[in-house]
Structure formats: structure tokens, C-alpha cells
Amino acid sequence: MSHAIYVEVPSARFAELVATALDSLPAGIGARMENVAVLVDDHAPPGRLLGLYEGIPLTERSQYGAGDMAMPDRITLFRRSICASCASDEEVVEQVRVTVVHEVAHHFGISDARLHELGWA
């Protein structure tokens, strides 16, 4: 979805939108999101990504043994890409929410195909 209008949402406000979207996740989901860093980057890598999950989905990892230290999984939301895909502040709020849910779902091992079936892709 490409719009001619670019909605400029300042970095601090965008970070608040991400925090609000994370806070709106059901409590059971948030409680299971351990060792996940959620970041905002102004610029996406090539491909017009809105968000990116980097890590090992919970469905594919073994339990960490005592003393094992794992790097945190990363969820990155790309501010300029999201803003460029929206025509209003309200659309930015909704796109941030959808993108957060989408990337968190990847953390839980839900594929793009399944997200599409569920209407979150």
C-alpha cells in the first residue's frame, strides 16, 4: 500500500506508539516474551520492510540450560517505512500495532503464510 502522502511522526512519538502496541498485547503473550529487544530504526534495509524479527522462534529453540546466555532476539520497526505507507496519523497508529503483532508472532513461530490466513500479514 503506497500513498503519495508521507506522514511524519517524530521518533519519540513513534517510540510511544510502539510501547503502546506492546502494552496492548494479551498478558499471557507479554509474559512469554523474555530476552526480546524491541527497537526502532529510521531506515529499513532494502525491500521496504515495515518490521523485522531476528532470532530463533520459541517453537524452534531448546530450553536454555543453567548458565547458558543467549543473545536477545530482536524486533525492529522501521519508522520511515511505516510512515511512508500511511496517509494519516491514525493509519500510522494502526500500522505500528499490526507490525508489532506480526513480528511478535514470528517470535512465537507463526509463519507469514499463517499470519496471512489470520489477516495479520
Task: Give me the domains of the chain, ranges plus CATH numbers.
Answer: 11-57+71-118 (3.30.2010.20)
**Average pLDDT, integer, range 17-21:** 96
Q: What is the pLDDT of residues 25-80, one digit of tens each?
A: 988 888 888 789 999 999 998 888 999 999 988 888 765 544 455 678 999 999 99
DSSP calls for 21-77: HHHTS-HHHHHH--SEEEEEESSPPTTT-SEEEES--GGG-PPPPTT---PPEEEEE
Each as own residue / partner, the long-range contacts of residues 59-68 (CB below 8 Å, 24 or more positions apart, any chain) are 59/108, 59/109, 60/109
- Checking if the pLDDT of 116 tops 90, the result is no
pLDDT score, position 121: 66
Give me the chain's average pLDDT, please: 86
